[in-house]
Amino acid sequence: MKTNFIAERGESTGAPEGQVVPFTIILNTMIRKKQPKKEIIIDLTGPDGNAFVLLGYAKLYAQQLGLNWNKLQEEMTSGDYENLLEVFDKNFGSFVILER
């Protein structure tokens, strides 16, 4: 954004006092450049480790990837919690990290 200001005594603009001097204001301090996405980490010891929360994530990721959610849900819920984690990791482990 370009604007003008009036030079005052003691400023290092090189302009005589009272002269209008153009200058540029840089306004990029509030908006940053897009940062690359970091890895997705799910802490299994916290609320995100709940089986129903994991199923919710799986449904979201399956829809985004065009996977058959019904088939995936059936496979994830066909066993215990460890089975759910194995199926989740098999399908989404390339971009989601599960931590205990």
Q: How confident is the model at residue 30 (pLDDT cuts 50, 70, 90)?
A: confident
When pLDDT is averaged across residues 68-97 and rounded to a whole number, the result is 97
When pLDDT is averaged across residues 63-70 and rounded to a whole number, the result is 97
Q: How far apart (Å, rounded) are the C-alpha atoms in residues 47 and 1?
A: 46
Q: How far apart (Å, rounded) are the C-alpha atoms in residues 19 and 48?
A: 62
Q: How confident is the model at residue 21 (pLDDT cuts 50, 70, 90)?
A: low
pTM (2 decimals)?
Answer: 0.64
Q: How far apart (Å, rounded) are the C-alpha atoms in residues 60 and 58?
A: 5
